[in-house]
């Protein structure tokens, strides 16, 4: 039986006094954690949770959030971590879609919870933060409901950068397969002390909670990513593993309080979710030479890891640093054309994959599920190619490819050139309408602090590094940071809007 909750009973028996989770002043052993999860499950069942019913949770990272997710599974339900960064109308839309029976909410979101309770008929009960501890104390621990295998464990809504968010059904087996695939490569074990600072409504952060729990390791929980608390936590708790997106890594390196000594306990940093520039990666390797770096590629629909680039390939000047590594064990990846015909090595096409980590499907979207999983392959919508050693190179989202004068231009290649300019802090590249070329390459560039950016020098910098037809035809200097999604991906759709509004072909 492949169950995400069964192991909690095991750690209650064999690691009862070992520290499971630290959240500020709250410190829980595995015995404490198991008892609280089982008690919370009894409360959920008393409030109407039956097999397969949804428990939605709205709150930033905390011991309560992790307990609620496992409590939902223990009670026989499906956990739905909601994106707390969404506006209330967006949360209403998501809850109308997933129809939760129960909503667990932190104090910061009590107003949204009140609105959701009023406008979403399925919500029969709301548990607020101020009642949480008394409810856990009053609960009588119940036995694990025993959901497992192909039963849905989590309903995770995709970030919505490309349109209306979709609920992705992730099963117990999906996440255990992902754990097994990654454990063959990542240096995780029962001694792992993992920092959780990424939003747990996103699977790129949540799978690490699942994996460390399956190992009986230790969770260190921060509400959100903030530079100084992260640096302090790594030093205080002797963190051995952490996950960051490129914007986080840059912020840590730029902190005046960053030192190698503060981060000397780190043995593994995994990074991904958005492209990383060569410049930033070189800075990270130089700053943390003793820490293993692992770049991951994946998506919610694949539970999520597809490939990993290991520390052996993280060497300055290695051309494979531009790849996202090789497929993890248990995942088969291919490159295909628009007709799903296999493409030869070195040819750009759609990345397609299959394996035990592929989602059960999209919640209540059977037609989209069938289309995405047609032919037994997950169609990612990402464009990439393989080299001769099976390293996968992501060149773009298929929708982000710029077609200018019949030439295919991949935005990340241009962004990588611009990012290496000494005065550039951030950049985003996309196509804008052009009467002559169809689309023209446009760059939005954020200068470093206290720098007057010369766009002519940016253009010259690009021409020295990439073909002239790939260089931006226009450069827009932006003084505020680029807009980011809930998982710190640049929201190119919002940057494109003013250019594509009213156009017959709108790629945003």
Write the CATH number for 477: 3.30.300.30
Are both 53 and 125 inside the same structural domain?
yes
From the CB of residue 327, how many other CB atoms can be counted at a distance below 10 Å? Answer: 22
Q: Where are the alpha helices (DSSP H) in 75-202?
A: 88-98, 110-119, 129-138, 172-183
> Is 177 domain-assigned?
yes
Domain boundary, last residue among 357, 386, 415: 386
Are both 325 and 434 inside the same structural domain?
no
The token duo for 82 is: 């909601």
pLDDT at residue 192, as a whole number: 98
> Is 394 domain-assigned?
no
Distance CA 68, CA 503 (A): 46
Domain boundary, last residue among 351, 386, 421: 386
**One pLDDT digit (tens) per residue for the chain, 508 residues:** 999 999 999 999 999 999 999 999 999 999 999 999 999 999 999 999 999 999 999 999 999 999 999 999 999 999 999 989 887 888 998 999 999 999 999 999 999 999 999 999 999 999 999 999 999 999 999 999 999 999 999 999 985 444 467 999 999 999 999 999 999 999 999 999 999 999 999 899 999 999 999 999 999 999 999 999 999 999 999 999 999 988 789 899 999 999 999 999 999 999 986 657 778 889 999 999 999 999 999 999 999 999 999 999 999 989 999 899 999 999 999 999 989 999 999 999 999 999 999 999 999 999 999 999 999 999 998 889 999 999 999 876 666 778 787 677 878 889 988 999 999 999 999 999 877 777 889 999 999 999 999 999 999 999 888 878 889 999 999 999 999 876 667 888 789 888 877 653 333 3
Contact between residue 86 and residue 115 where contact means Cβ atoms under 8 Å apart: no
Are both 484 and 339 inside the same structural domain?
no
pLDDT at residue 438, as a whole number: 74
> Is 395 domain-assigned?
no
| Phi–psi pair at 159, nearest 5 degrees | -60, -25
**Number of domains composing the chain:** 2
Are both 99 and 226 inside the same structural domain?
yes
Are both 202 and 315 inside the same structural domain?
yes
Distance CA 181, CA 205 (A): 16
Write the CB contacts of 311 (distance below 8 Å, at least 6 apart in sequence). 292, 293, 294
Are both 369 and 424 inside the same structural domain?
no
> Is 56 domain-assigned?
yes
Domain coverage including residue 80: 6-386
Are both 339 and 430 inside the same structural domain?
no
pLDDT at residue 161, as a whole number: 41
Per-residue pLDDT tens digits for 71-83: 999 999 999 999 8
Write the CB contacts of 374 (distance below 8 Å, at least 6 apart in sequence). 340
Distance CA 508, CA 487 (A): 18
Are both 165 and 255 inside the same structural domain?
yes
Write the CB contacts of 440 (distance below 8 Å, at least 6 apart in sequence). 404, 431, 432, 433, 434, 473, 474
Are both 299 and 444 inside the same structural domain?
no
The SS3 of residue 395 is strand
Are both 431 and 492 inside the same structural domain?
yes
pLDDT at residue 507, as a whole number: 36
Domain boundary, last residue among 336, 360, 386: 386
Q: Find, among 463, 462, 332, the residue nearest to 386 by Cα.
A: 332
Contact between residue 72 and residue 55 where contact means Cβ atoms under 8 Å apart: yes
pTM for the predicted model, two decimal places:
0.83
Distance CA 69, CA 343 (A): 41
> Is 104 domain-assigned?
yes
Which helix (H) or strand (E) covers residue 317, if one does?
none
Are both 377 and 419 inside the same structural domain?
no
> Is 151 domain-assigned?
yes
Are both 352 and 449 inside the same structural domain?
no
CATH number at residue 238: 3.40.50.12780
pLDDT at residue 164, as a whole number: 65
Distance CA 29, CA 16 (A): 6
> Is 396 domain-assigned?
no
CA 174 to chain CA centroid, Å, is 16
> Is 320 domain-assigned?
yes
pLDDT at residue 399, as a whole number: 67
């Amino acid at each position: 039986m492949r169950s995400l909750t069964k192991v909690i009973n095991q750690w209650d028996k064999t690691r009862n006094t070992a520290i499971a989770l630290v959240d500020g002043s709250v410190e829980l052993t595995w015995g404490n954690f198991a008892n609280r999860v089982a008690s919370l499950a009894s409360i959920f069942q008393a409030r109407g949770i039956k097999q397969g019913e949804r428990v939605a949770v709205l709150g930033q990272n905390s011991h309560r959030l992790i307990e609620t997710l496992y409590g939902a599974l223990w009670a026989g339900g499906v956990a739905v971590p909601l994106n707390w960064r969404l506006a209330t109308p967006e949360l209403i839309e998501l809850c109308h879609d997933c129809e939760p029976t129960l909503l667990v909410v932190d104090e910061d979101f009590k107003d949204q919870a009140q609105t959701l309770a009023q406008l979403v008929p399925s919500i029969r009960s709301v548990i607020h933060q101020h009642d949480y501890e008394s409810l856990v104390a009053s609960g009588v621990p119940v036995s694990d409901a025993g959901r497992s295998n192909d039963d849905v464990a989590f309903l995770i809504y995709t970030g919505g950068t490309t349109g209306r968010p979709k609920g992705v059904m992730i099963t117990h087996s999906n996440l255990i397969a992902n754990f097994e695939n990654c454990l063959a490569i990542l240096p995780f074990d029962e001694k792992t002390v993992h920092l959780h600072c990424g939003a747990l409504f996103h699977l790129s952060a949540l799978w690490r909670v699942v994996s460390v729990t399956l190992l009986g390791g230790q969770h260190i929980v921060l509400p959100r990513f903030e530079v100084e608390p992260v640096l302090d936590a790594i030093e205080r708790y002797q963190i051995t593993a952490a996950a960051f997106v490129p914007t986080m890594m840059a912020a840590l390196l730029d902190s005046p309080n960053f030192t190698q000594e503060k981060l000397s306990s780190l043995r593994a940093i995994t990074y991904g979710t958005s492209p990383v520039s060569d410049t930033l990666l070189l800075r990270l390797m130089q700053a943390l030479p003793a820490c293993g770096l692992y770049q991951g590629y994946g998506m919610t629909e694949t539970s999520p890891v597809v490939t990993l680039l290991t520390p052996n390939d993280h060497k300055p000047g290695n051309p494979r640093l531009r790849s996202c590594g090789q497929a993890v064990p248990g995942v088969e990846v291919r490159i295909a054309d628009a007709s799903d015909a296999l493409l030869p090595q070195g040819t750009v096409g759609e990345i397609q994959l299959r394996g035990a980590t592929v989602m059960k499907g999209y919640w209540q979207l059977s037609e989209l599920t069938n289309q995405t999983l047609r032919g037994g392959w997950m169609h990612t919508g990402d464009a990439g190619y393989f080299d001769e050693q099976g390293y996968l190179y992501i060149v773009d989202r298929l929708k982000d490819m710029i077609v200018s004068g019949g030439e295919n231009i991949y935005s990340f290649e241009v962004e990588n050139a611009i990012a290496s300019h000494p005065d550039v802090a951030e950049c985003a590249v996309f196509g804008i309408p052009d009467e002559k070329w169809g689309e023209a390459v446009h760059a939005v560039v954020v200068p470093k602090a206290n720098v007057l950016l010369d766009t002519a020098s940016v253009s010259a910098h690009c021409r020295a590094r990439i073909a002239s037809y790939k260089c931006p035809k226009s450069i827009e200097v932006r003084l505020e940071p680029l807009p980011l999604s809930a998982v710190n991906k640049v929201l190119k759709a919002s940057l494109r809007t003013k250019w594509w509004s009213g156009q017959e072909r709108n790629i945003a």
